[in-house]
């Protein structure tokens, strides 16, 4: 598909997130709105946006209370931004953050807005607990009841078992399998070894720890509730230590089970935000420009039928994005592949190297090929930082934008898989 | 000979009327023992409440189509009426559900009034007894919109004058890859019964199942088929489907499920028990 | 932080109890409020030199009610004694005895200010004796003042007149509520540099100011006061304090820079941030500081070195970066401490670092002055902050209630006011000096 030159660029000015915290730990009691507000506040402070009316703020959460129907707008109202800044919620599972940022970049490119903040937040520690369907039906009927008889009838319809609350799960609704169980199938399908997964996990921890040590996150992270770093980070993580863990997913694979709590992301709380703008906005406000948000692409796969692995959609999105931008998989200086599971990253990379997959599934004449692994997740990724679903996109965009700006040239590829068999990928270019 | 019933009988009454014959010992049955009776109900409708409840139960989307398994459920009491009659030669409360074959040429809308016809169409020798085929057909203003054959086994009943076929050689079960997992709680049978009225005691509770010699209640075969079809059946078009039942699913329990697409839009599905490595059911759906 | 004793002592029942028991009787100090009068009454000008006449004209020009020789019936907001013409100690008699009856008319929160020449070893002995005598007179008088009134002096170096911007700047600062907790101190004006603000309520308009250690306590107060006075604030603190820092920056409409000031490139990072984001760098407040108190007998290297690194060495390194960058007109204010002047038990490391700041400021004055700017220090006494809240209660109560003339601890705001003044162009003629903000604590000089 030929793309007409976009009328102007959308640039990434900077980002901010709160440290990511393992679930039911440091952030117990903090709501999505609290954490999103904190992430926005830090960003506003970093870039002096107090009283500024931005074009739009878009963010979202995967696990959301019904009271948070206007989560992003409510968060904005709690910040020092001009209350006249419009805001809306985005929801695309783990792709939420990047989709919010990508669609805002589009608005900027089209000239509809000059500035925006995109991001996301999630908490497992303050996840919504719903009434069971039975209790909900009874309560709703009670609300509709006009007569005493109707009300008594509605109350009488409630059964004791209805009163047990329904906690949200991370199971795919259509398959009843957890994300880890799905990935276990994909990991096995691609023959990814335990050792390879543990190596990737150890590297993630070591890279993230090194990035913190060199002050890389000094202008990307604002402490929150006594936490100054992601508390899932184990700087002393090694392949040997990870090798001792027992399998957590795909246990029915027996000996072939390779996925552990060490090479899978933990449930995490956190929030992130990224400031975008037109070049004019950045210049007028004397703001830095870290990178161009070049382009992004969505994809989805049929995992319900078992045709494809749940988390393999990015494998399909990337070739389309590359083709549209006239690039090859090797034309990048950094690869940020979200580590939902070590197996996800490795399966995706292996798929791109596989002639049969690339030909039959992607319709390519030749495989996309392999990447230089030394350019992969160089400042750590989700295995070390944790993965508060909707917040991961913002973490990655800000990290990659800064990496590119530090290098001063080149481009980076982002790949994020998501529940529902979806995926989102993006290209950033250094400024 | 058609026997027109004034309305769809209630299943509970039918099971109760069959109960006294539970202890009746049947050891053999003549090939022509089936009565030549067509049970007929002129006007059957599915309420929106029942449709919604069913769609919720099996995880389908609430939409204006009667799922094929729900249509089976509408006709089932009429078939059961046949099977609970004194002249039905096999004991109702011991029948094992073996197989269903359904052909539904078009989508049936919830506002259609359906006529139900059910007949017992044949006895066949089975290595473990005698199987009976019940044919049920649904008509909308005279148009055949659904026809299904259900195969039930009466264990230990010899079909007189017919050599029972040998038990087929079964290859060791090799489980396919899991594409879904159903976690069925202990109330699964009661919830299905509440929607479709099939209060067969083997599905309801630990106690009622024990009375009938089962270690635990088992899921309705049609519940399992309904959940599979909710995932696999096409929408907006007619389709044919079939399902074979191998071993029962005890409740509560977990069923591993595989779904595989075939050329021509055919979808095969199967369910099994991962721990015991035993198949529960297998079937396929073909769009028409 | 509310001082509960102050609240108690100023309440109806508390006040009478305090009086009967002979406990210290602190009052709520007169602090700066925009729109409030410069002083709470007329100003009595004492003295007969030409400078005294000039001062009267100046104060009239500021819209003040001015009296000379005799206060009459008016309540006095301030008494300003112009003593620049002292020839010998006997010259002190007349002004002292003129001030004496006027003190009874001094309103709560009033001011006594002397304007004199500093004594020098180059002076004739009698002249030096008279000039030095002024300090003893003023400091003793400051101890005698009550109801939040303070006594301070301005020392005009030889050849400096009231037309020097900093002479007027210091005078306005000392008269106003901005100097509420400055007591018994002298501000020396040695240069004619600097400029008076067009709007005295926005003395820092258009300036870009960096405040280190801005996340909390005195640093946060400095950020707020500099912002109130018109500056754009860059709030700097260690990354670990980023959340509190963000709150401060958002309150003052500034930007945050999460930075450890001990980093080798801290100075250049500050310059880069200020210039790129705000176009310039006019003011740096070296406020970041830590305490690691231990008796020297129990001191270890970590405690000693970290205090020196943060409180002093980082400033030296950053100052070199600022000088290397040749930032024109850069004004710096460093945080010293009365512990660096008088010493404090358990604070050998802290005291060394803060005394070091005083030395550093004096020795850096010429270099920054050459660029049209300047560097000074503020030495807070007992200030109610999170840091001082860690001091044991007995020491703390004594520190804030018994020792200072003002009979109370100061607020971070009081320190910030002095810093804002010294950071302003109006202080352009003041360089290399250390100003105490201690409520005239008995400790130290």
Mean pLDDT of chain B: 92
* SS3 at position B214: coil
Residue (of C215, C207, C250, C218) closest to C236 by Cα position: C215
Q: Are B136 and B150 in contact (CB under 8 A)?
A: yes
Q: Are B120 and B35 in contact (CB under 8 A)?
A: yes
Q: CA-CA distance, C284 to C290, in Å (whole number)? A: 18
Q: CA-CA distance, A385 to C126, in Å (whole number)? A: 74
Chain B meets chain C (3+ C-beta pairs below 8 A): no
The answer to whether the Cβ–Cβ distance between C239 and A79 falls below 8 Å is no
Q: Are C191 and C164 in contact (CB under 8 A)?
A: yes
* pLDDT class of C403 with cuts at 50, 70, 90: low
pLDDT value at position A1?
A: 46
Q: Hunting for tokens 């405040």 — which residue is that?
A: C211
The answer to whether the Cβ–Cβ distance between A51 and C253 falls below 8 Å is yes
pLDDT value at position A147?
A: 79
> Which of A161, A173, A185 shows the shortest C-beta gap to B177?
A185
* SS3 at position C387: coil
Q: Hunting for tokens 């607990």 — which residue is that?
A: A129
Residue (of C152, C154, C174) closest to C164 by Cα position: C154
The answer to whether the Cβ–Cβ distance between A175 and B179 falls below 8 Å is yes
Query: CATH for B2-287?
Result: 3.10.129.10
pLDDT value at position C390?
A: 65
Q: CA-CA distance, A368 to A355, in Å (whole number)? A: 8
Give how far Cα B101 sits from Cα of A61, A193, B133, B151, C282, Å: 45, 44, 10, 9, 87
> Which of B182, B260, B261 shows the shortest C-beta gap to A176?
B182
> Which of B59, B256, B261 shows the shortest C-beta gap to A305?
B261
> Which of A217, A222, A228 shows the shortest C-beta gap to C246?
A222
Residue pairs between chains A and C whose CB atoms are closer than 8 Å: 73
pLDDT value at position C445?
A: 40
Neighbours of chain B (3+ CB pairs under 8 A): A
Segment B186-213 mean pLDDT = 88
Q: CA-CA distance, A53 to A289, in Å (whole number)? A: 19
Q: CA-CA distance, B22 to A113, in Å (whole number)? A: 77
pLDDT exceeds cutoff 50 at C444: no
pLDDT digits (tens, 9 = 90+) for B218-242: 999 999 999 999 999 999 999 999 9
Six token digits for residue A187: 């990991």
* pLDDT class of C9 with cuts at 50, 70, 90: low
Q: CA-CA distance, A204 to A225, in Å (whole number)? A: 25
* SS3 at position A177: coil
Q: Are B154 and B90 in contact (CB under 8 A)?
A: yes
Check if C333 contacts A (Cβ < 8 Å).
no
φ, ψ of residue C71 to 5 degrees: the values are -75, -25
The answer to whether the Cβ–Cβ distance between C250 and A51 falls below 8 Å is no
Q: Are C157 and C117 in contact (CB under 8 A)?
A: yes
Question: Is residue C264 packed enough to be buried (19+ CB in 10 Å), middle (13-18) or exposed (0-12)?
Answer: exposed
Q: CA-CA distance, C441 to C401, in Å (whole number)? A: 10
Q: Are B244 and B189 in contact (CB under 8 A)?
A: no
Contacts of C100 (CB under 8 A, 6+ apart): none
Segment B151-169 mean pLDDT = 90
pLDDT value at position A160?
A: 64
φ, ψ of residue B137 to 5 degrees: the values are -135, 140
pLDDT value at position B254?
A: 95
Give the other-Cβ count within 10 Å of C215's Cβ: 27
Check if A252 contacts B (Cβ < 8 Å).
yes
The answer to whether the Cβ–Cβ distance between A177 and B183 falls below 8 Å is no
Q: Which of A15, A48, A281, A290 to mutate to test the interface with C (most CBs of C within 10 A)?
A: A48
The answer to whether the Cβ–Cβ distance between A286 and C253 falls below 8 Å is no
pLDDT value at position C234?
A: 98
Q: CA-CA distance, C337 to C436, in Å (whole number)? A: 8
φ, ψ of residue B21 to 5 degrees: the values are -95, 5
* SS3 at position B182: strand
pLDDT exceeds cutoff 50 at C1: no
* pLDDT class of B10 with cuts at 50, 70, 90: confident
Q: CA-CA distance, A390 to A88, in Å (whole number)? A: 14
Q: CA-CA distance, C4 to C16, in Å (whole number)? A: 16
Cβ-based interface (< 8 Å): residues of B facing A: 56, 59, 177-183, 187, 231, 256-261, 267, 274
Strand partners for C110:
none
* SS3 at position A99: helix
pLDDT exceeds cutoff 70 at C21: no
CA-based nearest distance A431→chain C, Å? 15
Check if C247 contacts A (Cβ < 8 Å).
yes
Q: CA-CA distance, C219 to B210, in Å (whole number)? A: 77
Residues of C designated as active site: 350
Q: CA-CA distance, C121 to A196, in Å (whole number)? A: 80
Residue pairs between chains A and B whose CB atoms are closer than 8 Å: 44
CA-based nearest distance B9→chain A, Å? 26
Task: Find, in chain B, the residue whose alpha carbon is nearest to that of A305.
Answer: B259
The answer to whether the Cβ–Cβ distance between A176 and B259 falls below 8 Å is no
CA-based nearest distance A73→chain C, Å? 18
The answer to whether the Cβ–Cβ distance between B181 and A177 falls below 8 Å is yes
Question: Is residue C370 packed enough to be buried (19+ CB in 10 Å), middle (13-18) or exposed (0-12)?
Answer: exposed
> Which of C254, C256, C278 shows the shortest C-beta gap to A286?
C278
Six token digits for residue C307: 């205090």
Radius of gyration of chain A (CA): 22
Q: CA-CA distance, A28 to C376, in Å (whole number)? A: 46
Residues of A designated as active site: 94, 387, 417
The answer to whether the Cβ–Cβ distance between B179 and A305 falls below 8 Å is yes
Q: Give how far the C-alpha of residue B48 lies from the chain's centroid of Cα atoms, to the nearest Å.
A: 22
Contacts of A81 (CB under 8 A, 6+ apart): A40, A44, A49, A50, A51, A52, A53, A54, A57
DSSP structure class, residue A359:
I
Domain map (residue ranges) of chain B: 2-287
Global pTM value: 0.86
The answer to whether the Cβ–Cβ distance between C243 and A288 falls below 8 Å is no
> Which of A176, A185, A305 shows the shortest C-beta gap to B183?
A176
Neighbours of chain A (3+ CB pairs under 8 A): B, C
* pLDDT class of C15 with cuts at 50, 70, 90: low
Q: Which domains does chain C have, with CATH numbers?
A: 1-28 (no CATH), 31-189 (3.40.50.720), 208-437 (3.40.50.720)
Give the other-Cβ count within 10 Å of C113's Cβ: 24
DSSP structure class, residue B171:
P
**Chain C contact set for A38 (CB, 8 A):** 243
* pLDDT class of B206 with cuts at 50, 70, 90: confident
Strand runs (DSSP E) across A188-304, as ranges?
247-249, 259-260, 268-278, 291-300
| Ranges under pLDDT 50 in chain A | 1-2
pLDDT value at position A255?
A: 72
Segment C117-135 mean pLDDT = 96
The answer to whether the Cβ–Cβ distance between A44 and C246 falls below 8 Å is yes
The answer to whether the Cβ–Cβ distance between A50 and C242 falls below 8 Å is no
Check if C255 contacts A (Cβ < 8 Å).
yes
pLDDT exceeds cutoff 70 at B68: yes
* SS3 at position B194: helix
pLDDT value at position C127?
A: 97
Contacts of A184 (CB under 8 A, 6+ apart): A249, A250, A253, A257, A258, A259, A343
Check if A82 contacts B (Cβ < 8 Å).
no
Domain map (residue ranges) of chain A: 133-163, 179-214+293-430
pLDDT value at position C406?
A: 86
Where residue C327 falls (left for φ over 0; alpha for ψ -120 to 50; beta otherwise) is beta
H or E element in which residue B120 lies? strand B114-126
The answer to whether the Cβ–Cβ distance between C240 and A223 falls below 8 Å is yes
Strand partners for B122:
B133
A11-50 residues touching C, CB cutoff 8 A: 18, 38, 41-42, 44-48, 50
Give the other-Cβ count within 10 Å of C93's Cβ: 9
**Chain C contact set for A221 (CB, 8 A):** 239, 242
pLDDT value at position A130?
A: 65
pLDDT digits (tens, 9 = 90+) for C331-353: 999 999 999 998 889 999 999 99
Check if C242 contacts A (Cβ < 8 Å).
yes
Q: CA-CA distance, C95 to A222, in Å (whole number)? A: 59
Check if A177 contacts B (Cβ < 8 Å).
yes
Q: CA-CA distance, C376 to C77, in Å (whole number)? A: 29
Q: CA-CA distance, B67 to B138, in Å (whole number)? A: 13
CA-based nearest distance B6→chain A, Å? 31
The answer to whether the Cβ–Cβ distance between A80 and C250 falls below 8 Å is yes
Max CA separation in chain A (angstroms):
73
Q: Are B38 and B119 in contact (CB under 8 A)?
A: yes
Angle at C244 between CA C239 and CA C250, to 5 degrees: 110
* pLDDT class of C435 with cuts at 50, 70, 90: very high
| A321-354 exposure pattern, b = at least 16 Cβ within 10 A, e = fewer | bbeeeebebeebbbbbbbbbbbbbbbbbbbbbeb
* β-bridge pairing C186-189 and C150-156: parallel
Q: B20-24, B183-187, B197-201, C365-369 — which is least confidently predicted?
A: B20-24
pLDDT digits (tens, 9 = 90+) for C241-295: 999 999 999 999 999 999 999 999 999 999 999 999 999 999 999 999 999 999 9
Chain C meets chain A (3+ C-beta pairs below 8 A): yes
Check if A307 contacts B (Cβ < 8 Å).
yes
> Which of B59, B182, B258 shows the shortest C-beta gap to A306?
B258
**Chain B contact set for A162 (CB, 8 A):** none
Q: Hunting for tokens 């109760």 — which residue is that?
A: B16
**Chain B contact set for A305 (CB, 8 A):** 179, 259-261, 267
**Chain C contact set for A48 (CB, 8 A):** 249, 253-255, 277
Q: CA-CA distance, A13 to A281, in Å (whole number)? A: 10
> Which of B180, B259, B267 shows the shortest C-beta gap to A176?
B180
Query: CATH for A179-214+293-430?
Result: 3.40.47.10
């Amino acid at each position: 598909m030929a793309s007409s030159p976009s009328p102007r660029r959308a640039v990434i000015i900077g980002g901010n997130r709160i440290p990511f915290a393992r679930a039911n730990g440091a952030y117990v009691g903090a709501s999505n709105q609290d954490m999103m507000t904190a992430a926005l506040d830090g960003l506003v402070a970093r870039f002096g946006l107090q009283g500024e009316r931005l074009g739009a703020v878009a963010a979202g959460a995967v696990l959301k209370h019904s009271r948070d129907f206007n989560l992003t707008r409510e968060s904005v109202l709690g910040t020092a931004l001009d209350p006249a800044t419009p805001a809306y919620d985005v929801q695309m599972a783990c792709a939420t953050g990047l989709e919010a940022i990508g669609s805002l970049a589009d608005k900027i490119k089209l000239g509809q807005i000059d500035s925006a903040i995109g991001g996301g937040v999630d908490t497992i520690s303050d996840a919504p607990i719903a009434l069971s369907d039975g209790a909900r039906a009874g309560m709703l009927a009670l609300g509709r009841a006009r007569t005493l008889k109707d009300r008594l009838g509605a109350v009488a319809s409630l059964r004791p078992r209805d009163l047990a609350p329904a906690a949200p799960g991370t199971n795919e609704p259509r398959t009843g399998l957890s994300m880890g169980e799905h990935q276990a199938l994909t990991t096995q399908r691609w023959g990814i070894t335990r050792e390879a997964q543990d190596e990737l996990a150890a590297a993630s921890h070591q890279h993230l720890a090194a990035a913190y040590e060199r002050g890389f996150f000094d202008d990307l992270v604002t402490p929150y509730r006594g936490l100054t770093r992601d508390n899932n980070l184990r700087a002393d993580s090694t392949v040997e230590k990870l090798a001792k863990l027992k399998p957590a997913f795909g246990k029915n694979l027996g000996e072939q089970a390779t996925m552990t709590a060490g090479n899978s992301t933990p449930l995490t709380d956190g929030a992130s935000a990224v400031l975008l703008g037109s070049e004019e906005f950045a210049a007028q406000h004397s703001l830095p420009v870290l990178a161009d948000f070049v382009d992004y692409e969505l994809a989805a796969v049929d995992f319900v039928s078992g045709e494809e692995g749940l988390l393999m959609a990015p494998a399909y999105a990337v070739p389309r994005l590359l083709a549209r931008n006239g690039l090859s998989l090797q034309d990048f200086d950094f690869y940020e592949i979200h580590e939902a599971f070590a197996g996800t990253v490795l399966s995706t990379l292996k798929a791109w190297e596989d002639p049969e997959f690339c030909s039959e599934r992607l319709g390519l004449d030749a495989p996309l090929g392999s990447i230089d692994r030394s350019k992969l997740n160089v400042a750590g990724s989700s295995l070390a930082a944790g993965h508060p679903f909707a917040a991961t996109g913002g973490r990655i965009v800000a990290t990659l934008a800064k990496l590119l700006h530090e290098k001063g040239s080149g481009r980076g590829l982002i790949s994020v898989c998501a529940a529902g068999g979806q995926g989102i990928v993006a290209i950033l270019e250094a400024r | 000979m058609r026997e027109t019933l004034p309305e769809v009988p209630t299943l509970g009454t039918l099971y109760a009327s069959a109960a006294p014959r539970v202890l009746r010992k049947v050891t053999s049955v003549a090939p022509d023992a089936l009565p030549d009776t067509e049970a007929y109900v002129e006007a059957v409708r599915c309420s929106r409440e029942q449709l919604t409840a069913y769609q919720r139960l099996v995880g389908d989307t609430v939409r204006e189509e009667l799922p094929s398994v729900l249509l089976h459920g509408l006709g089932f009491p009429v078939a059961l009426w046949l099977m609970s009659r004194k002249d039905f030669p096999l004991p109702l409360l011991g029948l094992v559900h073996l197989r269903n074959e359904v052909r539904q040429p078009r989508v049936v809308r919830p506002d259609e009034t359906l006529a139900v016809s059910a007949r017992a169409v044949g006895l066949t020798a089975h290595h473990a007894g005698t199987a009976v085929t019940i044919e049920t057909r649904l008509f909308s203003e005279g148009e055949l919109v659904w026809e299904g054959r259900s195969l039930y086994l009466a264990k230990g009943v010899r079909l007189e004058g017919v050599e029972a076929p040998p038990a087929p050689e079964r290859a060791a079960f090799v489980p396919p890859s899991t594409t879904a997992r159903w976690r069925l709680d202990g109330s699964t049978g009661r919830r299905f019964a509440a929607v479709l009225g099939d209060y067969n005691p083997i599905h309801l509770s630990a106690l009622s199942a024990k009375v009938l010699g089962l270690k635990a209640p088992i899921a309705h075969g049609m519940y399992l088929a309904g959940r599979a079809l909710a995932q696999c059946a096409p929408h907006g078009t007619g389709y044919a489907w079939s399902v074979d039942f191998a071993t029962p699913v005890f409740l509560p329990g977990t069923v591993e499920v595989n779904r595989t697409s075939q050329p021509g839009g055919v979808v095969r599905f199967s369910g099994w028990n991962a721990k015991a490595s035993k198949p529960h059911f297998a079937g396929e759906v073909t769009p028409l | 932080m509310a001082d509960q004793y102050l609240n108690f002592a100023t309440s109806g029942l508390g006040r009478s109890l305090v009086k009967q028991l002979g406990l210290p009787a602190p009052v709520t100090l007169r602090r700066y409020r925009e729109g409030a009068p410069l002083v709470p009454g007329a100003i009595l000008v004492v003295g007969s030199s030409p400078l005294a006449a000039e001062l009267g004209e100046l104060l009239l020009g500021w819209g003040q009610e001015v009296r000379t020789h005799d206060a009459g019936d008016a309540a006095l907001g301030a008494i300003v004694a112009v003593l620049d013409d002292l020839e010998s100690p006997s010259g002190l008699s007349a002004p002292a005895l003129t001030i004496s009856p006027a003190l009874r008319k001094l309103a709560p929160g009033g001011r006594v200010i002397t304007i004199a020449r500093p004594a020098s070893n180059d002076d004739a002995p009698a002249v030096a004796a008279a000039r030095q005598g002024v300090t003893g007179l003023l400091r003793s008088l400051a101890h005698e003042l009550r109801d939040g009134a303070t006594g301070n002096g301005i020392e005009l170096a030889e050849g400096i007149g009231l037309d020097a911007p900093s002479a007027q700047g210091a005078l306005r600062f000392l008269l106003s509520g901005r100097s509420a907790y400055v007591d018994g101190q002298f501000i020396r004006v040695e240069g004619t540099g600097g400029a008076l603000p067009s709007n005295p309520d926005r003395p820092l308009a258009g300036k870009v100011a960096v405040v280190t250690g801005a996340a909390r306590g005195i640093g946060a107060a400095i950020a707020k006061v500099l912002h109130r006075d018109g500056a754009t604030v860059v709030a700097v603190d260690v990354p670990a304090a980023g959340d509190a820092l963000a709150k401060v920056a958002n309150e003052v409409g500034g930007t945050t820079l999460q930075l450890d000031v001990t980093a080798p490139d801290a100075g250049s990072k500050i310059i880069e941030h200020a210039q790129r984001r705000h176009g310039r760098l006019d003011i740096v407040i070296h406020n970041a500081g830590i305490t690691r108190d231990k008796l020297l007998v129990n001191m270890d290297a970590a405690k000693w070195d970290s205090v020196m690194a943060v409180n002093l060495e980082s400033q030296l390194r950053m100052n070199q970066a600022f000088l290397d960058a040749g930032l024109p007109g850069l004004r710096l204010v460093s945080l010293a401490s009365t512990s660096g002047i008088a010493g404090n038990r358990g604070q050998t490391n802290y005291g060394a670092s803060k005394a070091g700041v005083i030395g550093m400021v004096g020795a850096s004055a010429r270099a920054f002055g050459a660029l049209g700017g300047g560097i000074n220090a503020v030495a807070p006494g007992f200030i109610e902050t999170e840091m001082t809240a860690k001091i044991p209660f007995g020491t703390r109560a004594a520190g804030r209630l018994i020792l200072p003339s003002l009979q109370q601890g100061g607020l971070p705001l009081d320190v910030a006011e002095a810093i804002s003044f010294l950071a302003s162009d109006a202080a352009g003629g003041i360089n290399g000096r250390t100003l105490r903000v201690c409520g005239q604590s008995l400790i130290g000089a």
